[in-house]
A and B are shown apart, each in its own frame.
Chain A
Amino acid sequence: MSTWLNRLLVMLLCLPLLSAWAQTGHSKGSKRPSLATGVAFSPDGRLWVTGLNANGRLFVQHTRFSGPAQWSDPQVLETGADEIAADGENRPKIAFGPNGWAVITYTQPLPKPYTGNIRMMRSEDGGKTFGQPFTVHDDRQIITHRFESVAFDGQGQLFTVWVDKRDQVKAPDKPYAGAAVYRKVSRDGGKTFDPDQKLADHSCECCRIALAQDARGRLFGLWRHVFPDQIRDHAFADLSAPANQHQRASFDEWRINACPHHGPGLSYAPPQAGSPEGFHMVWFGIRSGAPAVRYVRLNLEGAPIEQTLRALPDESAEHADVMSSGQRVAIVWRSFANGVTSLHLWKSTDGGVSFDRGVLSRTTGFNDHPRLVQSDSRMAVVWRTQERIEAHEISP
């Protein structure tokens, strides 16, 4: 095992900590566990998770992230009659901002297929209490508003972005490829919002949107996009930019009219010898017939630096995420083989020039996609299985 792995402080934080009902989340009326979980660090350094418990109820829990975990009792939140999506790429999310602000968002599927609302609950006391859920977008048609992502920027502005089909239904006789990405901005922690604004036409319909903050605190987004001829590569944009000012960030030339349900990951990359300031990106795609999760470094405008492109060292890799701090880069993914799902870590200490690989955990049952989470220079990966919620700190 490599030296960095030997030094790796794998803190299995959790674990007996969540009571069984909290560990095996379910959607209402479903036998299948709904394990998709959102994670975030609060400003005081505690690690928070939000997801569904065994009764399909939304809960939050938190723990200190030093030494043995001491999880709080699960706090079940009042969400009324809302159905809550918590499966795969669609998961509840939690984000913390300044002034004690915190928000939880989720997609509320509606009875008509492919439709939903983006719902938000807000806190002004750092997550001690949350208000009633409300619908974020102005558009109230029974259409797709799904796959939201949420984050505060460096100035404390709250950005919510989501996949939206209002432009498709606006002109039903006119072909409209995919959906659109819309954004909503709040400057008071979700109390009031600017009007809905379009970020881009023609996004893919069923993949998560990755968000990352640069060194100046600006937020950027990365999503699977439908380029001409049904090419489903990725687009990158400043979340404050006018509509359709995005940059193409991947060039797999994957021409397909299908739902990959496999969104990208994005993290800021400071300048490094040979590479300018930019971002680290991971994504799934099929390039020249070869399916793979791949890594590349983007410049600050979102264009890929082709010589940094490489496939992850696992043909079965799924649902990768990336995070970085200085020259440390962590990429995590899960893969299934022979009845076992493994949680993998690919770690670099030279800004993504070279990586070492390790396996952090395994399970034989249901499990969520791994989520990376960061507080300043501390990084951790959270992985919810049917038995427990694991949190592994990624050591320097």
Chain B
Amino acid sequence: MKFHLNLIAALVIGSAGFAAAAHTPEQHAPLSRSLQIKPFNEETWAKLLKTGPRPAAYMFTTSYCSACPAVFQEVRDVTSKSRTRPELIVVMMDAEGPNALRHASHFKGMTQFFTFEGYEPAIRSTIDPTWRNITPYVVLIDRHGGIQRGVGSPTSQSLKQWLQ
């Protein structure tokens, strides 16, 4: 599956008022300072689409995904050269608590960190019913709410479009 434009043109209604996705200064802090783990359940994705930050990149990852750190770095490197400051959000699907933090060390520069709370296929189906548990699964939301999604590395064209 290639990284592709999603048919869904997401309607992003606003950005204020959703505590779980709130964009606060401390969440931009480096990983080494403090990192708050936020729960990601079956309701979270819909809320993030409505009121979450944008532009934003969501990387869904797992504790065994050794391909994920390099893909995250590719996305981060692109954003570091960009005038916009998109949120870089990592969602750990199979680990929680200290075990999740252990793996978070691979994602330096992320601005928010979620972990799945609940039955993984059920949560996954709220994000994309056709997505098997292949990781990394990356969702790019641009400043207008347009969504691109796919597994593996986003193409340079996808990243460019995301940051426009």
Of all chain A residues, the one with the shortest Cβ separation from B102 is A113
A256 and B1 in contact (CB under 8 A), knowing A87-B94, A262-B133, A366-B119? yes
Asked if residues A341 and B1 are in contact (CB atoms below 8 Å), the reply is no
Contacts of B1 in A (CB 8 A): 256, 286, 289, 291
Of all chain B residues, the one with the shortest Cβ separation from A340 is B122
Of all chain B residues, the one with the shortest Cβ separation from A291 is B132
Q: What's the dominant secondary structure at chain A's contact region?
A: loop
- Residue-wise, chain B 61-103 has the 8 Å CB interface mask toward A (1 for contact) of 0111111101100000000000000000000001011110011
Complex Cα distance, B102 from A262, in Å, reads 24
Of all chain B residues, the one with the shortest Cβ separation from A32 is B96
Q: Does B53 contact A (CB under 8 A)?
A: no
Asked if residues B135 and A259 are in contact (CB atoms below 8 Å), the reply is yes
Q: Does B14 contact A (CB under 8 A)?
A: no
Contacts of B135 in A (CB 8 A): 258-259, 261
Q: Does B106 contact A (CB under 8 A)?
A: yes
Q: Does A45 contact B (CB under 8 A)?
A: no
Q: Does A114 contact B (CB under 8 A)?
A: yes
Q: Does A206 contact B (CB under 8 A)?
A: yes
Contacts of B146 in A (CB 8 A): none
Contacts of B136 in A (CB 8 A): 258-259
Number of A-B contacts (CB under 8 A): 90
Contacts of B97 in A (CB 8 A): 29-30
Q: Does B151 contact A (CB under 8 A)?
A: yes
Q: What's the dominant secondary structure at chain B's contact region?
A: loop
Asked if residues A31 and B96 are in contact (CB atoms below 8 Å), the reply is yes
| Residue picked from B2, B94, B134, most chain A C-beta under 10 Å | B134
| Residue picked from A113, A114, A315, most chain B C-beta under 10 Å | A113
Interface residues on B, range: 35 or more
Q: Does B125 contact A (CB under 8 A)?
A: yes
Asked if residues A88 and B94 are in contact (CB atoms below 8 Å), the reply is yes
Asked if residues B122 and A339 are in contact (CB atoms below 8 Å), the reply is yes
| Residue picked from B103, B125, B132, B152, most chain A C-beta under 10 Å | B132
Interface residues on A, range: 35 or more
Contacts of B62 in A (CB 8 A): 206, 259, 261
Complex Cα distance, B67 from A257, in Å, reads 7
Of all chain B residues, the one with the shortest Cβ separation from A90 is B64
Q: Does A284 contact B (CB under 8 A)?
A: yes
Interface residues of B (CB under 8 A from A): 1-2, 62-68, 70-71, 94, 96-99, 102-103, 105-106, 117, 119, 121-122, 125, 129-130, 132-136, 151-153
9 new A-B contacts, CB < 8 A, other than A30-B99, A316-B129, are A90-B64, A206-B62, A257-B152, A259-B134, A261-B62, A291-B132, A315-B130, A337-B125, A366-B119
Interface residues of A (CB under 8 A from B): 27, 29-32, 87-88, 90, 111, 113-114, 144, 146, 205-206, 256-262, 284, 286, 289, 291, 315-316, 318, 336-337, 339, 341, 365-366
10 A-B residue contacts at CB 8 Å?
Answer: A29-B98, A30-B99, A31-B117, A87-B94, A205-B67, A256-B1, A257-B71, A286-B1, A336-B125, A341-B121
